[in-house]
Amino acid sequence: MGPRARPALLLLILLRTVATQGRSPQPSLSGTLVTGIISGIAVCIILFLIGILFRILRRRQASRGAAGDYVLAECE
> Cα angle vertex 30, ends 27, 31, to 5°?
80
Residues 52 and 59: their CA atoms lie apart, in Å, by 11
**15 pLDDT exceeds 90?**
no
Q: How confident is the model over 32-50, as a mean pLDDT?
A: 93
**65 pLDDT exceeds 80?**
no
- Tell me the whole-structure pTM to 2 decimals: 0.46
Residues 22 and 44: their CA atoms lie apart, in Å, by 43
